Structure 1
C-alpha cells in the first residue's frame, strides 16, 4: 500500500458533465472556489471535455473567460483540462497550427495540466499536443484510453505508457471512461506501469458498474500516485466515487491524502444546493445515479447503454435493445477493437444499431465509419480485415500516415472568416473549434445589452 496518494477533484468538469451534461454555469462555482483551493487537492479538473461546447451552446458563457475567472480565484491548486489530442475539444482532426494555438492559449489563460488522450491510443495523434504543451511550459499528462479486448493486455498498455513517457509525458493517466477496469486488472496494470515508467501515474474511472471504489483501493495498493474523485453531491453512478468517502477510507488504512475533511464538507454542502436545483429542474435525471453492471457484461460505457436505449425507444424498437447490445462487440471486433470512447463509442453504437434495424450487417454505413476505415482517425489497434474494409469502402486504400499530415494550416483562413466578430485570438480559436456555436455567441455579444469587456488584443494568425 502506498503511504500517500493525491486527489484530482472532478466536480467542475467530468463530475457535472457525467450527471448534468455540463450545464453548470460559472455562478454556481464562484462562491466555493476559494474553499476548493484550500482543500488540499492535487488539481481541479475544470475545463476541456464538453465544457467548451456547453458554454457557447447552452450557457451563453465565454469558455476562455470562465477559465480566467476560475484561475483568478485558485491560487494554490493546479487547474487541469481534458484534450482529445488532434481532435482538441471537438470530434474531428484539426491542423497542427490550430492544435498548437489552442494548447498555448489554454496555458496562457491559466491551465497547468493538460490531460491529452487519443480515442485509438495512436500516439501519433498526441505528438503535436505534447510538443505544444511542453513549449508553453505546461504539464502534459498523457492518458491511456483503457479498454478490454484480446489485444488490450497489460503488456500492451505498459508498452503504450513507455511510448508516452518517451514522447515527453510528465505524467501518465489510466483513463477508464467506461468504468470497466476491475480491481484485479487495476492492480496488475498499475504494478506493470510503475515497474517500467518513472513519471507519476494517475487512475481515472467511473462508478457506473459499481466497482470503482475497489478499483481505486487496489490501484493505491499497487502504487498509483493520484486518483480522480468527485465531491459527493455529484458522485457515483456515471460520475466518479465520492471524494470524502475515498479520503476517509484511505486515511483509515494509513494512507496520507493531504485533504482537509472540514473543507470537503463545506464544498459538499455548497454543491448539494447546486445538485438540488438541477434535480428540481429535471436536468439531473435520477438514472445517472444508478449502478449498471451491464457495463461490465457488454464492456461498453454506461452512457452508451442509455443512449442506445433512448434511440431505439424513439424509433419504436426498444424490444431490439438486447440484440443491439449483442451486436456492439461484434462491430467493435470488425473495426479492430477500438476503445469505446468519444467519438468511437458513438460510431460503433450507431453501426450496431443500423446492422440490427436494417436486418443486414453493413447494409447501411455512416460516413464516420467509412472515414474511420479509411484511416482518417488514426490506426486501429488491430488491422481491419480485407473483407470488412471492402464492405465499408470498396477498393479504396486506407491512408497509413498520421491523419493530420494531410491537413493544411487552417488559422489564416479562420482569422479571415471570423474577422468581423473576433476581438481576440481566443475568439478565433472558439470559432475554429465550434464554428456555428461560436459565431452565434460572438454575434450575441455585439448586442448592446450583452455586457462584455472590450478586448484590446490584435487578432492575427496565431
Structure 2
C-alpha cells in the first residue's frame, strides 16, 4: 500500500485564502531551507493570485520571488496553479503568450504546473499541457469540482480519462468550495484508480468543515497526494492542517513518514507572521469560521467576501440573503458552471444586478455576454434559447476553441513596452496585467535611478484592509 504524499500550500493557497495573498518573499525565505528538509511531495509557491498580488500590493517582481525560492529549495519540487488558457488572469490569452508563459515558469524554477479550466473545457487545457511537457515540466490537469444534475461521478471519470489521453501526468480533484463529501470522495477516487493509470491528487478547502474527513476517505480509496497547509495558515477557507494530517495518519497503513516534530517547529515560525496580519486587519477572523451553508449554495469563501463588498458599495447589504438565493438560479441559467475564477465572479455579479435592479438580466456584464457567446468555452449544460435571447439577443454563439479567435500578441507587446523591458519575463508580466505592470515597472525605474516616483505619476502601494 502506497503511503500518501503531501503538497504543502503555505506559500500560495494558504495565504491566498486567509490573507488575500499578502505574504512577502522576505517572510518566506528565512524558513525555506527547513521546509526543504521535510520531504514534502511538492511545495505550492506560485500562480493563482500570487502574481497579481506581488505587483499590485507588495511592489515585488513575482519572477524574482520564484527565482529566490528555487535557489533555496534543492530537494523539493515547486508547484504552481495556472488557469489554463486564462493563465493567471481572467480572460483567454493567445497561444503564443500561453506557451511562453509556461516555458518561462519552468525555466525560472517551477517543476509541476496544476492546470485547470473554470468550465472543465479540456480544449482550454491543451496548449498549457503541451507547453508544460515540451519544457520538461509535470503537467497536472485539474478537475474543477462542482455539484449539479450533470456533474456526477461518471462525468468526472470521463473527464479524467480525456485529460489522461491529452497527456496529463497526474490528475487533481480541485474542490475549491470545500463541498466534496467524504463518501463521495471515496467513490470518486476508487473509480478513478480503476480507470486511469496516472497519480491522483486531492485538493480541498475547510470552508464547510468536512475537508479532513474527505481527505481520510480519499486516502483510504487510494489517493496519491493531498494538499495541506501548516497550522497557522490552515483551516477556515484554507486547507486542512499539515501537522494534524501527519498525526492522524501516523502508525497506520497510510503513515506519511514525515517528521511531525520538525513540521511543528517550522509551523512555529509562521505564528508571529499570522499575528502580524491579524493586527493589520488583513486576516479577518470570519474566514476562519466554518460555513456549513457552503454545502447548500456552493459559494466559495472568496466569492462571499466579494459579494459583501459589492453590496456594501451599492448600499444594499440588506439584500445579501436574496443574492445568495439568486446565485444557484443564475448558475442553472448559465449551464451550471463551477464557481471558480472567473465564473464565480461572473455568476456573483449577475446575481447582484438581478436583485438590486429588481429585474433578471436587465443589466448584463460584458463578461457574462461573452461567456454566453461561447468566448470562454463550452458549458456542461447548453444554455436555453430563452436565456440566450435575454442576454445576447440574436447574436451568434461561437462553438470553436475560444483561443482560436486570438491573434499572436508577444511581438506587439514587446514593442509597446520596450522602454520598460529589463528581462524577457517583463513582456509576460505586462501581457497578464497591463496597468498594474506599468505601475510596477515605473516604480522599479524610480528605485533604480533614485527618482521620486511621484514624478512618474505612480500612486504609492498600500495594504488594503
Partner of 1:37: 36
1:15 aligns with 2:7: no
Show CA shifts across 1:145-170 (max 9, x none): 00000000000000000000000000
Unaligned runs of 5+ in 2: 451-465
Do 1:327 and 1:352's aligned partners in 2 also have CA atoms closer than 8 Å? Answer: yes
| Deviation (angstroms), 1:305 | 2.2
My pick for the range that moved more, 15-24 or 313-322, is 313-322
My pick for the range that moved more, 417-426 or 309-318, is 309-318
Show CA shifts across 1:66-119 (max 9, x none): 000000000000000000000000000000000000000000100000000000
1:67 aligns with 2:63: no
> What is the rounded CA distance, in whole Å, between the counterparts of 1:141 and 1:256 in structure 2?
24
> What is the rounded CA distance, in whole Å, between the counterparts of 2:280 and 2:88 in structure 1?
28
| Deviation (angstroms), 1:311 | 2.4
| Deviation (angstroms), 1:449 | 4.9
| Secondary structure, counterpart of 2:43 in structure 1 | strand
- Note the 1:128-147 alignment, pairs <5 A: 128-147=127-146
Partner of 1:99: 98
Runs of 4+ in 1 over 3 A off after TM superposition: 448-451
1:330 aligns with 2:361: no
| Deviation (angstroms), 1:450 | 6.8
Partner of 1:373: 372
> What is the rounded CA distance, in whole Å, between the counterparts of 1:311 and 1:423 in structure 2?
38
> What is the rounded CA distance, in whole Å, between the counterparts of 1:449 and 1:336 in structure 2?
50
Partner of 2:407: 408
| Deviation (angstroms), 1:3 | 4.6
Do 1:41 and 1:258's aligned partners in 2 also have CA atoms closer than 8 Å? Answer: no
1:308 aligns with 2:310: no
| Secondary structure, counterpart of 1:255 in structure 2 | coil
Unaligned runs of 5+ in 1: 452-462
Partner of 1:214: 213
Partner of 1:161: 160
| Secondary structure, counterpart of 1:307 in structure 2 | helix
| Deviation (angstroms), 1:319 | 2.2
| Deviation (angstroms), 1:252 | 4.1
Partner of 1:191: 190
Show CA shifts across 1:262-300 (max 9, x none): 221121011111111111111111111111001011122
| Secondary structure, counterpart of 1:11 in structure 2 | coil
1:114 aligns with 2:139: no
| Secondary structure, counterpart of 1:265 in structure 2 | helix
> What is the rounded CA distance, in whole Å, between the counterparts of 1:234 and 1:16 in structure 2?
6
My pick for the range that moved more, 257-266 or 61-70, is 257-266
| Secondary structure, counterpart of 1:447 in structure 2 | helix
> What is the rounded CA distance, in whole Å, between the counterparts of 2:99 and 2:255 in structure 1?
38
| Secondary structure, counterpart of 2:150 in structure 1 | coil
| Deviation (angstroms), 1:438 | 1.1
Partner of 1:457: none
Do 1:158 and 1:192's aligned partners in 2 also have CA atoms closer than 8 Å? Answer: yes
Partner of 1:441: 440
The structure-2 alpha-carbon separation of the partners of 1:450 and 1:156, relative to structure 1 and needing over 3 Å to count, comes to farther
> What is the rounded CA distance, in whole Å, between the counterparts of 1:351 and 1:62 in structure 2?
34
Under a length normalisation based on structure 1, what TM-score does the superposition of the two structures give?
0.96
Partner of 2:232: 233
Partner of 1:201: 200
Partner of 2:458: none
Show CA shifts across 1:418-454 (max 9, x none): 1111011111111111111111111111125579xxx
Do 1:206 and 1:239's aligned partners in 2 also have CA atoms closer than 8 Å? Answer: yes
> What is the rounded CA distance, in whole Å, between the counterparts of 1:412 and 1:155 in structure 2?
43
My pick for the range that moved more, 309-318 or 165-174, is 309-318
Under a length normalisation based on structure 2, what TM-score does the superposition of the two structures give?
0.95
Do 1:10 and 1:44's aligned partners in 2 also have CA atoms closer than 8 Å? Answer: yes
> What is the rounded CA distance, in whole Å, between the counterparts of 2:446 and 2:320 in structure 1?
47
Show CA shifts across 1:22-49 (max 9, x none): 0000010011001100011000000000
Do 2:114 and 2:142's aligned partners in 1 also have CA atoms closer than 8 Å? Answer: yes
